[in-house]
């Protein structure tokens, strides 16, 4: 994820897309996981009430002409 994806402009105001850490204060944001929010600096964690909807994973296939190595 790039930094420009974390912010947006609404009119003349900058809007932050992530929640801030209540312990660390402004400038430290919580990482979004499927089932929780967590701070990488102090370890603060909030559990989500409803899990985030995950995108369906597509199965990756090997390129044509190459075989998967068997163990």
Domains of the chain, by residue range, sit at: 20-49
Question: How much is the pLDDT for 69?
Answer: 65
| DSSP code, position 22 | T
> How confident is the model over 36-49, as pLDDT tens digits?
999 999 999 999 88
| DSSP code, position 44 | -
The answer to whether residue 65 scores a pLDDT higher than 80 is no
CA distance 42 to 55: 29
DSSP reduced 3-state for 5: helix
> How confident is the model over 5-48, as pLDDT tens digits?
788 899 999 888 889 999 999 889 899 999 999 999 999 999 98
Question: How much is the pLDDT for 70?
Answer: 64
pTM: 0.58
């Amino acid at each position: 994820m790039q930094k420009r994806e974390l912010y947006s402009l609404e009119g003349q105001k900058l809007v932050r897309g992530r929640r801030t850490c209540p312990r660390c204060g402004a400038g430290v944001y919580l990482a979004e996981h499927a089932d929780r929010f967590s701070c990488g600096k102090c370890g603060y964690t909030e559990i989500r009430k409803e899990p985030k909807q995950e995108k369906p994973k597509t199965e990756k296939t090997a390129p044509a002409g190459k075989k998967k190595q068997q163990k």
